[in-house]
Amino acid sequence: MPEEKQSAHDHRRLGAELDLFVFSDLVGSGLPLWTPKGTALRLAADNFVWELRQKYGYERVEIPHLAKKELYEKSGHWDKFKDELFLIRTREGHEFAMKPMNCPHHIQIYDRVPHSYRELPLRYANTTMVYRDEQTGELGGLSRVRAITQDDAHVFCRLPQATQEVINIWKIITEFYGAIGFTKFDIRLSFHDPKEIDKYLGTAELWQQAEYILRQVAAKQGVTATEAPGEAAFYGPKIDFIAKDSLGRDWQIATIQMDLNLPERFDLTCINETGQKERIVMVHAAIMGSLERYLALVIEHFQGAFPLWLAPVQTLILPISDSHHSYAKKVLTELKEHGIKTEINLASETLGKKIRGGKLQKVPYLIVIGDKEVESNKLTAEGRTEKLEGITVADFITSLQTEIKEKK
């Protein structure tokens, strides 16, 4: 790829130009700080994931950002990742770690009371940060950070329910990524390497059972999947979704993990129809995975020109002169009251300069207000592909709301 083309899409450059995020030497490498616009971008993406998850019965939970080392010893993360953890020693000598994963915390929520089989599946969702002590030389913009935001979810279900739960997550992934134009995926089944079973939790039998479920799902979805021995998470096999961006680069986007091992380690059960304890299984699912890495992909894929539903500023109001400010502010209020993310430029600049500034900021709709608009109580709005002249504020709002809802 030509260097200048890469530079034009580089999310680090675009993040600064569009005022989305910043890194501070005083805060530390790999710890991005999100501006109001960048935070709006994050929330738009995360809210869409939650909107999709709600359709399938997920419930939100919340967890702390650290835990005693004993939690990670029991989960197996301590043995596997102890050199990558941020450790904290309390004044009383207790040893804690900043959480590298959310699943052990969600397990404790599930295990707080006995559950009947009638309650299952239980689906917990939680957008929260995890922390990894990445090496400084491996950090790169948002693509590799030390504070990683995960849109994490865990399904606790019976073994016969697992296939449908994975298929439902697949549907969420398809709809979510379809909204940014990713409609084709390469599917990789990341399995364990049976020659190195010691690298993984659990027995060969549990791994074979989990991998059989994922093969079934791929077959039911009618896809030809590539199997990748040795690419599994240490506690379970995965379905990895791989897509190409606008530059033709492959990105691993979402992942679904089938886990029969952590329920064994934590003795997770439900009470079945006969009144006996029955071992349950877990499905791990992060739709964006790392929200930082997802946004690095999205920023570069769109070169900062986000679709309306995702854009941190959806409309920019440009009054031509001071005499138009009053009506412009009225329009600003109406748009904001209807949930449209709107800004106004009241600077003493030429209209041409204001328009150039709005285009450099890649705002989807620029609203010009002059004498004609004030007198008619209407708008002129310039979008990326069309110009709307003489449209009422109400009709413009309806048009925007439709575009946002349809994720065009």
- The residues annotated with a catalytic role in the active site are 103, 132, 150, 152, 154, 238, 284
State the pairing for strand pair 66-68/59-60. unpaired
Distance in angstroms between the alpha carbons of the first and the last residue of the chain: 29
Most distant CA atoms of the chain, gap in Å: 78
Phi and psi at residue 227, in whole multiples of 5°?
-95, 135
Q: What is the rounded CA–CA span in Å between residue 214 and residue 226? A: 12
Q: What is the rounded CA–CA span in Å between residue 198 and residue 158? A: 27
Tell me which residue of 137, 180, 146 sits closest to 49, measured CA to CA: 180
State the pairing for strand pair 387-391/365-369. unpaired
Q: What is the rounded CA–CA span in Å between residue 168 and residue 172? A: 7
DSSP structure class, residue 313: S
User: 213 is written with which tokens?
Assistant: 């479920």
Tell me which residue of 289, 306, 181, 172 sits closest to 245, measured CA to CA: 181
State the pairing for strand pair 365-369/281-290. unpaired
Q: What is the rounded CA–CA span in Å between residue 374 and residue 377? A: 5
CA 221 to chain centre: 23
Residues 235, 263 contacting (CB under 8 angstroms): no
